[in-house]
Amino acid sequence: MSETGIIRDETGTQSLIGYVVDVSAKDGKGRCWLDIGPQHTNRHKALHGGIITCLLDNASGTTGSLTVDDTGKAPFLTISMNTHYLAPAFKGRVTATGRVTGGGKSLLFIDAELVDEEGRVIATSSGVFKRVPQERLA
């Protein structure tokens, strides 16, 4: 982590796609942002749906992590997730933000929203995320 609360190049996927994880807000909501480049677009020059889902998934997982670790690095696995694509994004920065809507100790229900720089909602998701027990990480 180079800047406080900013996580870059932590995983191979993050390095490949180029998104940034942001836990600096201290509001319990994980965020991921991406500056759209030509490598992120589909044949219609819009942000690819798979990358949209990746951003929503990472914002959600980070949000889950923030419930137990203020660095946002405690691992959570996606059990299920639904994505709703609402509008295309062609350029600029998009930001995904997660929000816990329910759950318990090991399973959390988390919604997320991806918006563009103008605040237009590009996509939303809802999912179930499971905390990875520490003994499984050893």
Q: Where are the domains of the chain?
A: 6-136
| E strand or H helix at 100 | strand 93-103
Q: Distance between CA 129 and CA 134 in Å, rounded?
A: 16
Percent of the chain residues topping a pLDDT of 70? 96
CATH architecture entry for 6-136: Roll (3.10)
Please tell me what DSSP assigns to residue 43: T
Q: Compute the 3-state secondary structure of the chain and give helix, strand, coil in percent, each to the nearest 5.
A: 20, 40, 40
- What pLDDT is attached to residue 135? 67
Q: What is the pLDDT of residues 62-86, one digit of tens each?
A: 999 999 999 988 999 999 999 999 9
pLDDT class for 4, splitting at 50, 70, 90? confident
What is the pLDDT averaged over residues 33-52?
A: 98
Q: What is the mean pLDDT of the chain?
A: 94
- Which pairing describes strands 20-22 and 31-35: parallel, antiparallel, or unpaired? antiparallel
Task: Answer yes or no: pTM beyond 0.85.
Answer: yes
pLDDT in tens, 16-25: 999 999 999 9
